[in-house]
Structure 1
């Protein structure tokens, strides 16, 4: 079973390329499902086992300021270099958790980690990579997106967002049980980055004191 972002491997993907520091190979997709409604997650059943994997645990306790490491294959692609990403090695960046957002995944359920913001750098192509707690190396989330300024298109690699393992585990449990997670509207709004407050007027001369 492989879990990654839906924008990385769409539901109709017939084959995916799995890359580790040891090798890179194409693997046939047997089936795919999106068990967590409204979230950028897809689970893929593949026809080969893996020698290397990260265990998806239930919620891993982590707080703002905790040291983390991002690992992914973004920035340089094998198509661009012709030799693979940095000779097969992933891009690694260290940083901290800058914020932990907790909300109920489903209406009526207890609040859990629903988003992790991190200063560990993430680049274009890093999506689906892992965010790991340091120094123990536990998987705490899956890299999903960067911060982007809509007006300029500028992307900030030092502000990334990850889907916590609590959400990944809920999705995995749903897949194994043949179920589906009805994501709460609050979580959907969180991940679509909808505004949660009114902007401060830019023209301060018009603000009454």
Structure 2
């Protein structure tokens, strides 16, 4: 009887030990699996990619933005005179189009200058002072005074002649930016200026021919 009980006890202990070994092995496999999952989640591929840095800009981009802001301001000032002085509805419509296109571009270029740590040119338009700009095609104080005094057909002709010259200056500036600028969005804006203002020059020259 004693031998039989001893045998049963040994069998039970062996079975218990075997079960314990199986449980430990299972726990060990599960732990390794969980750690592996944590490692995968923390890899760079699981994180959001870093944003690309803005493109570099150069002196040409800065000069273009500063000078074109002043240039646009004067064009808007000239266009504003058409509301009360022009006799042609076509000229009034063109003036409205010019203001609608160039005002947002001024805001865009001003934002870029601020982001680059550059000063935005002071707004001297409508103050009877020179625009303090080397931009080509700009009207002098005398030119602006003559335009302000004109009205009717005289204003129409003077406005078209001056705005053609003004636009030609803007196109020259934009072409310089296209060839020398390095900041993509500024070059794209320059391209838009060339396209839009070249078309308006053709329109205004046609209006002059018909007047």
- Structure 2 length-normalised TM: 0.23
- Structure 1 length-normalised TM: 0.23
Which structure shows the bigger proportion of residues in helix conformation?
2
Which structure shows the bigger proportion of residues in strand conformation?
1
Larger of the two Rg values belongs to structure = 2
